[in-house]
Chains A and B, each alone.
Chain A
Amino acid sequence: MVERGLVHKSRVVASCVSAIEPLCRELLDDVTGFGFDEDEVFGIHLAVEEAFANAVKHGNKADEHRSVSIEYFITPVKVDISISDEGAGFAPEAVPDPRTEENLYNSGGRGLLLMRSHMDVVEHNDKGNCVHMIKYRANAQSDEVKE
C-alpha cells in the first residue's frame, strides 16, 4: 500500500523513450520544491530515466502501440515512484551483474544497478513489469528538529 503524498501525479504515456520528458521535468520540479538536494534530484532523475527506458525497450519490446504508466507521490520525507509496462515482466534477480569481468564490456545491462545505487528502495512486483522506487530526503529529519 503506497502512502498518499502531498503531491500525487499519475500518467499513462506512449511507449517511446522521449515520452517521459515532460512528466520527468514536472517530477524534478516537484521534488526540488520539496527540498530534495541537487545530488538527490540527480539520482531520482537517473533512476526514472533508466526505469522508463527499461519499460520501453525490455518490457514493451519497443512497441509504440503499448504504453507505460507512471505514478508518483511526494511528501517532505520521500518520493515514491512506480513505473509499469505492458510486457511479460522479468526476474530482476536473473539480471547479470554488469560489474563482473565477463560483463564489464557489455554495451548494456547497467540500468538496474544505477537505479539501485541512487534510490533507497527498488523493488518489482511478482510479475516483474512494475518497478517501485523510493528516495528518502536526507534533510527531512533536520527540518523536523528546526520545527
Chain B
Amino acid sequence: MDQLRPKIKVEYVQHAAIATLTDEKILDESDIRGLAGSIMPLVETSPGVNLVLDFSNVKFLSSAVLGLLIRISRKIYESDGQFKLCGINPKIHEIFRITRLDRVFDIHADRYDAVRSLD
C-alpha cells in the first residue's frame, strides 16, 4: 500500500542519514504505519545509524507520531546509533514541550545543526 505511505526523502550527508518527512500532516493509523514502514527498515538494516529526522515540511501531527518516534529512538539506541530531530515548527515544538519529550529527543533548529551535533 505504497500510496498510503507518507513520503520520506533520504539523503546521506557525511556520517548521517537525513530523512525528510514530505507530508504536511501525519495523523491517523495508516499514516503512522506508512511512516514506520518507511523508516524502520532504514534503521534495522543499518545498525549504528545516525538518523536525522527533518520535520521542516510538517505542519500538523497527532500524538500517535510521538509513540512512533519513541519506538524509532529505542531501536537506534539499541545499536549505538544517534537520533536527532530538526526543523520542528513552533506549534509542533509546543507539543514536544507539553509532553516533556523535548527532554527525551535531541532537537535541533535545522539539519545542519543536527549533523554538526553528531559525535
Contacts and interface: CB of A to CB of B under 8 A. Distances in A.
Interface string B44-82: 000000000000000010111011101100100000000
Interface residues of A, number: 21
Contacts of B28: 17-18, 53
A114 interface: yes
A107 B67 contact: yes
Contacts of B27: 17, 49
17 contacts: A17-B27, A17-B28, A18-B28, A18-B30, A39-B91, A45-B60, A46-B60, A53-B63, A104-B104, A105-B74, A105-B104, A106-B70, A107-B68, A108-B63, A108-B67, A113-B98, A114-B98
A39 B59 CA distance: 12
A50 interface: yes
A109 to B, nearest CB: 8
Interface string A1-25: 0000000000000000110000000
A89 interface: no
Interface of B: 27-30, 60, 62-64, 66-68, 70-71, 74, 91, 95, 98-101, 103-104
A11 B66 CA distance: 29
Nearest to A24: B27
Contacts of B66: 107, 110
